Structure 1
Amino acid sequence: MKTLIHVLASASLALAASTASALDIQPYTPQALSAAQQAGKPVALHFHADWCPTCRAQEKVFKGLKPDTSLDLRLLVVDYDKERALKQSLKVRTQSTLIVYRGDKETARLAGETDEASLRAALKSAL
């Protein structure tokens, strides 16, 4: 009987862990940003260029943060070279820029930052 209880308890914990939210990294689309902002949800934009070493370092940090259940938000990866109108409207002047929102309110903005603690703090600013 104790074994069955332990199996059921373990299964319950595994299910709870699998349903916990974590950092969700997706490609940018205007629809994804608009939906998150209209719903008042936390969302971040990472202006990324494939040729940028700082962007690649940031990407590595963000991928390492993916399983962190305290970061329940979506990170939208914006193609720095293609999304010119978005860059202009948000006054983004450099690749490797991270802008974090809670709904449509900007809560943090970093450019060129690769420190994990700083990037985590910026993401948490919207939670």
Structure 2
Amino acid sequence: MSNAENEIQEFTLLQFYADWCQPCKMMMPIVESIKQKQSDWLIIRQIDVDKAQAVASEYHIRSIPAFVVLRNDKEVWRKVGMLSESSFLAELSLLR
């Protein structure tokens, strides 16, 4: 694997949500679209805060929906609340 390929695989978006959260449900199709459009460099992990409370606590998640981008397991971006797809993509593009 080349260095460029290694670079691609080090970005992970953590999406914190809950089944009962209406804004979270509204973000699901947006995140799915981003997953398809950005799959060449961004891995997306969906984390249900009710089922993975320890993970939510580790990342100090107090409100949902919440999004955290990790690069080499280090947080480089965080957003809480709803985003339009265009805003989400614009912010993510700054991380590349």
The question of 1:64 aligning with 2:33 is answered yes
Partner of residue 76, structure 1: 45
The corresponding residue for 2:63 is 94
- TM-score, length of structure 2 as denominator length: 0.77
**How large is the Cα RMSD of the aligned pairs?**
2.3
Aligned residues: 89
Q: Pick 1 or 2: higher relative contact order, CA cutoff 8 A, min separation 6.
A: 2
Question: As a proportion of its length, which structure holds more helix?
Answer: 1
Identity of aligned residues (%): 30
Contact 2:35–2:42 (8 Å) recurs in 1: no
TM-score with structure 1 setting the length: 0.60
By percentage of residues, which structure has more strand?
A: 2
User: Aligned equivalents of 1:63 and 1:94: distance in 2?
Assistant: 21
Q: Distance in 2 between matches of 1:99 and 1:69?
A: 15
In structure 1, C-alpha distance between the alignment counterparts of 2:43 and 2:72, rounded to whole Å: 12
After the TM superposition, which segments of 4 or more aligned residues of structure 1 sit over 6 Å from their partners? none
Match of 2:76 among 100, 103, 107: 107
Tell me, which stretches of 5 or more residues in structure 1 are unaligned? 1-39
Unaligned runs of 5+ in 2: 1-8
Q: Which structure has the greater CA radius of gyration? A: 1
